[in-house]
Structure 1
Amino acid sequence: MSEQQFWDERYGASDRIWSGEPNTVLVREVEDLEPGRALDLGSGEGGDAIWLAGRGWHVTAVDISGVALERAAKDAARAGVPADRIDWRRIDLAAEFPDGEYDLVSASFLHSHGDLPRERILHRAARAVAPGGVLLVLGHATGPAWDHSHDHMHLPSPQEVLESLELPDGEWRVERAEENERIQNDPDGNPTTRTDNVLRVRRRKG
């Protein structure tokens, strides 16, 4: 099964996988930024893209799943987001990357059980950030305690992500690189603690 088939089947198996709300860490990290052009990598059902568009950003939202993108576009329309605010694109990031420069490039939990070249994708993501713009990478530091299917996955620390970007000296400023804990309910509704990480770097203007 291809990555595209896997994600289409996963999204198609239920009416909704995610909450529809933006990632709380993304909101915290972006709400102080001046809206411009944003690239949302692995946009899923569109929670982040819709929130960004509602804040005045022009968003290119990329995902491998057409099922997820169709659902996201319908949610955006229901939320009253103007159609020209979000460009929904079905792209396999393992094979291609969107053109252009962006004031914000965001990758929220860009993980996969398949053969996803995450480091290469994030490396290209950094090169798509315009001078003065921000690259924001949110990731899991631990898998869910009740699901051991993630045990084979390497979940890099913020420092490992930063080093893999190979950012030229003097051209970037690290604004945040840290881990944080959050509460996530298990399938039975019991609260458990999970650790995520965040890396926010800004490209200098000159």
Structure 2
Amino acid sequence: MEKQRSEQKVSASTRGLDYLNSKTPFILSLSAGIVILAALGILLASNISFITFNSSSITSLESGLNATATQELQILVNATNYMKTAFLLFLPIIGIAGALLIYASVLMLKGNRKKKAMGGVLSIIFGVFTFLALFLLVPTFPVAIATLIGYFGTVGLQTSLSYILFMLGSLLGLFNGLALLYYMSNEKKKDES
């Protein structure tokens, strides 16, 4: 029984060393950053109309409309402006997080133990950061989304795909950073004992 436990400890330790010395942390962090930046590109391309939206060109049409049509137009303008603000606020933050995940991957590949730990910390921070930004981005405009889907069906497959990719990238970064720091802390304890 004692021998079996000892073998399990050796196996776990070997697994940790294999992970730390392999290119897996680099590949996972790089993949996370690329996935997040790809999702950002898809989201920008599929929603460029929101980002370039100019409400003054639309509101000039109001003079020729009846009261009901004017009210509906105003609802659409408000919903679109709301989404534009959300995109302009959160998308640069998510883009920076994706780029810094790629930087973290470079630290993991070329760095010593200290730099690898720094890469792991960055990977966790920006994995969580992207995840939180995504969850702040989506619920900030449910009414705007519902309004625009109701009128135009604007938020479609590309936007859904980009949200899934954001989530995947942030989880990859988070998992990779946690695994790296976990194995590094185990190795440090082993060195000290």
What TM-score does the superposition give when structure 2 sets the normalisation length?
0.24
Which of the pair is proportionally richer in strand?
Answer: 1
What TM-score does the superposition give when structure 1 sets the normalisation length?
0.23
Which of the pair is proportionally richer in helix?
Answer: 2
